[in-house]
């Protein structure tokens, strides 16, 4: 836009002002977010009007029967292309480890993230951080664990060290020309559950809100990390009040999301559809009111025993209300501890592979080739 004015000397000056993205006039929680991060945020609003980004956790790191191959994914092996959204987890970074909870080296993760970004895809990161109070894992729900990391708590100094390490890794996600890779950051996920040390069974609402706000403020204002969009993530909920009970406030959140899986057993399909439909309706109403994009941040059916699950269960849910993205969980492969194949997208020859390919062919599902044409970061 050109702006002209007359100076005291009579000279007319012309300034060229660069307009910021105007996704419903909504800006990220970080006012100093990088241009690419703001553009990604605007793109999420734009995408959910017509389509859904399809994502997969650890897609490039391993799959059923393989690990550490160059530019491979089970999604690509079935459809011919990679997902449009890549999920990763930085559990282990807090301890200074070289690989995450699932054995993915952070150096390899960084390279995968940079490759995906340069191909135009989106990135999301979760964090199954260890229990700071007991040194147990994320599933250690010892009472008082969350309160211990708040300002004044016995583990607050330790938690800041953990945030320093997370910030160092996130800050290292830069291209050769110095462009910081935007990340959909999903800390304290499934907060309405009871299985992690940060869940509602281990914290009062004001304690969780304080933890969220401190974390955002520390990364944003102290560590100067300006490439994050903050994703609020619940598990089950049955009302607006339940979704918002631990909500830290619109100015601290960028995306609304929840996680939900289908399980095997009689009636589970109907129950899954009913619960997810209810949660989607609630989340959509709140997202519209608060001008936030929405997502299903984790979902799937382990082993996918239903050969038509993709088009007859998942797809109708994705079309029920507008959402920016959906992420399927990881393809670990054979698990000796359970004797089962732990995977959430099919591989070649799987009974649901043909139906997954039909899902892939639908015009409103966005995989990597299509997402590159959408120019999320411009």
In a domain, 67, yes or no: yes
Mean pLDDT to the nearest integer, 150-171: 98
Q: Where is average pLDDT lowest: 20-29, 115-124, 135-144?
A: 20-29
Rounded CA separation 322/48 (Å): 5
Q: What is the pLDDT of residue 341?
A: 83
Residue 12 has pLDDT above 70, yes or no: no
H or E element: which one contains 294?
Answer: strand 294-301
- Determine, yes or no, domain membership for 160: yes
Per-residue confidence (pLDDT) for residue 80, from 0 to 100: 97
Q: How many separate domains does the chain show? A: 1
Domain contains 200: yes
In a domain, 323, yes or no: yes
Which tokens hold the place of 32? 């100093």
Per-residue pLDDT, averaged over 43-63, amounts to: 97
pLDDT digits (tens, 9 = 90+) for 282-328: 999 999 999 999 999 999 999 999 999 999 999 999 999 999 999 99
Closest CA to 120 of 23, 53, 45: 53
Band (52; pLDDT cuts 50, 70, 90): very high
Find, among 286, 165, 259, 147, the residue nearest to 214 by Cα. 147
The full DSSP string for 312-351 is IIIHHHHTTS--SEEEE----EEETTTTEEE-SS--TT-T
Give the pLDDT score at 21: 36
Q: CA–CA distance from 29 to each of 179, 230, 232 (Å)?
A: 20, 7, 12
Beta bridge partners of 89: 126
Average pLDDT value for residue range 124-133: 98
Residue 144 lies in a domain: yes
User: Average pLDDT, stretch 258-283?
Assistant: 97
Under a CB-based contact definition with an 8 Å cutoff, are residues 227 and 220 in contact? Answer: no
- Closest by Cα among 323, 370, 368, 376 to 115: 368
CATH number for the domain including 104?
A: 3.20.20.80
Position 87 in a domain = yes
Residue 11 lies inside a defined structural domain of this protein? no
Q: Which residue has the higher pLDDT, 187 or 21?
A: 187
pLDDT in tens, 162-216: 999 999 999 999 999 999 999 999 999 999 999 999 999 999 999 999 999 999 9
Q: Quote the pLDDT of residue 70.
A: 85
Q: What percent of the chain shows pLDDT beyond 90? A: 90
What stretches of the chain show up as alpha helix (H) in DSSP?
Answer: 35-47, 74-79, 106-118, 145-148, 156-171, 205-217, 240-244, 268-290, 309, 315-318, 353-361, 368-374
The mean pLDDT of 332-354, rounded to a whole number, is: 92
User: CA of 340: how far to CAs of 17, 67, 294, 332, in Å?
Assistant: 58, 18, 32, 10
> In terms of residue numbers, what domain contains 214?
28-374
Whether the predicted pLDDT of 7 surpasses 80:
no
Least-confidence region, from 43-47, 65-69, 178-182, 205-209: 65-69
22 falls within a domain: no
User: What is this structure's pTM?
Assistant: 0.92
User: Has residue 4 got a pLDDT over 60?
Assistant: no
């Amino acid at each position: 836009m050109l702006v002209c004015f007359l100076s005291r000397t009579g000279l007319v000056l012309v300034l060229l002002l660069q307009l910021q993205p105007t996704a419903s006039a909504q800006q990220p929680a970080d006012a100093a977010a990088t241009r690419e991060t703001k553009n990604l945020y605007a793109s999420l609003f734009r995408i959910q009007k017509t389509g859904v980004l399809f994502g997969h956790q650890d897609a490039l790191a391993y799959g059923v029967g393989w690990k550490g191959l160059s530019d491979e994914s089970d999604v690509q092996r079935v459809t011919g292309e990679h997902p449009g959204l890549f999920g990763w987890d930085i559990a282990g970074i807090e301890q200074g480890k070289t690989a995450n909870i699932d054995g993915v080296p952070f150096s390899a993760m960084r390279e995968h993230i940079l490759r995906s970004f340069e191909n135009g895809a989106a990135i999301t990161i979760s964090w199954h951080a260890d229990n700071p109070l007991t040194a147990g894992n994320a599933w250690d729900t010892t009472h008082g664990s969350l309160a211990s990391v708040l300002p004044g708590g016995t583990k607050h100094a330790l938690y800041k060290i953990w945030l320093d390490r997370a910030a160092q890794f996130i800050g290292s996600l830069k291209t050769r020309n110095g462009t910081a890779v935007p990340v959909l950051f999903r800390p304290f996920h499934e907060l309405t559950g009871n299985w992690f040390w940060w869940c509602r069974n281990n914290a009062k609402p004001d304690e969780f809100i304080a933890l969220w706000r401190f974390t955002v403020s520390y990364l944003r204002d102290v560590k100067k990390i300006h490439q994050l969009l903050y994703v609020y993530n619940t598990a089950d909920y049955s009302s607006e009040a339940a979704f918002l009970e631990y909500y830290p406030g619109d100015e601290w959140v960028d995306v609304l999301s929840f996680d939900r899986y289908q399980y095997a057993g009689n009636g589970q399909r109907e129950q899954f559809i009913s619960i997810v439909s209810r949660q989607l309706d609630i989340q959509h109403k709140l997202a519209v009111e608060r001008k936030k994009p929405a997502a299903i941040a984790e979902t799937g059916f382990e082993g996918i025993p239903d050969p038509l699950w993709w088009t007859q269960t998942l797809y109708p849910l994705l079309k029920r209300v507008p959402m920016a993205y959906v992420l399927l969980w990881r393809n670990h492969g054979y698990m000796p501890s359970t004797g089962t194949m732990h995977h959430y997208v099919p591989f070649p020859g799987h009974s649901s592979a043909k139906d997954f390919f039909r899902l892939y062919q639908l015009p409103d599902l966005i995989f990597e080739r299509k997402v590159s044409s959408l120019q999320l970061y411009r």
